[in-house]
Amino acid sequence: MTGPSQSLARGALAMILSSLAFAIMGACIQVCAQTLPNGMVVFFRNVSGLAFLSPILIRGGREVLRTTHIREHILRGVAGLSSMYCFFYAIAHMRLADATLLNYTLPLFIPVVEALWLSEPMPARLGAPLVLGFLGVMVVLRPGSGLMTGAAVFGLLAGFLSAVAQTGVRRLTKTEPTVRIVIYFALMGSGLSALALPFVWVTPAPAVWAVIVLMGLAATTGQLLMTKAYSHAPASQIGGFVYTGVIFAAFVDWLRLGLAPSPTFFAGAALVMASGVLMFRLASRGPVVIDSE
């Protein structure tokens, strides 16, 4: 393969590997959540990202942080951090595959958030994928079956808050470089999540420290691979590959807990994935990035 075909293949591979890394991160979160409160897990996730970005911050100095849009950064940071709290809670209290699928409803919420926040009309062509996606969520959760728990609500809320954060990122990218956006989120995420530590701190066991390091490595690797994927091909061509994360998460559930997804889960997941792929292809306002914050 040469030219565009080669770039598409590389982008798709990078996206698939990114989804695998995020599935490993999710498994680490589940292990940490057995002995650590959610607030600590979120803090360690943010600090690991900040540690990776620290060389850029040190080299760039004040110039990296110079901005006239601090309010927009704060809004994006609060939404992203809130999404992380919700997603990590869902991971700790649900099967990883279910929590991952609910978080991947992000593309379904973005047109709604953009219409409400930015007053941008939602294209009529997105109506069918939206209905298809939320129908898939209902099939997976099956209201009345016992799966529609508080954790499931937090999983959906994580998807919505991620959509708010993503919309904030899209606004910021018009005036701010990507590195500055990422650094501000890492600083705010680490600082705000650290505020709760005196109230929730539990000293991790040595083995848990190792899992924390792996969680940070997997999260950082996932973000790098996703960025690499979008450098090779547009979201309309490779964005749908992010849903391989649901398959990897189901495999992790099977390896760790011996839990195989039900046929109903696969049916609902297929609807959500099909909806997400259609959203990637039909939306024309830039890439939708699902990186579990």
Choose the weakest-confidence range: 26-30, 79-83, 112-116, 212-216.
112-116
For 86, the domain range is 13-282
Give residue 82's identity as a one-letter amino acid code.
Answer: S
pLDDT for residue 40:
94
Assigned domain for 85 exists: yes
181 lies in a domain? yes
Average pLDDT, integer, range 21-34: 92
Q: Does residue 4 lie in a domain region?
A: no
Q: Does 288 map to a domain?
A: no
- For residue 1, being part of any structural domain is answered with no
- Residue at 3 is within a domain: no
pLDDT: which is higher, 200 or 142: 200
Residue 250 placed within a domain:
yes
Report the predicted TM-score, pTM, of the whole model to 2 decimal places. Answer: 0.82
For the chain, the domain total comes to 1
Task: Specify if 199 maps to a domain.
Answer: yes
Residue ranges of E strands in 39-173: none
Contact by Cβ (8 Å): 118, 263: no
**Torsions phi, psi of 104, nearest 5?**
-80, 10
CB neighbours of 73 closer than 8 A, spacing ≥ 6?
67, 172, 176, 181, 184, 185, 188
Which residues are within 8 A (CB) of 58 and not within 5 positions of it... i.e. 6 or more apart? none
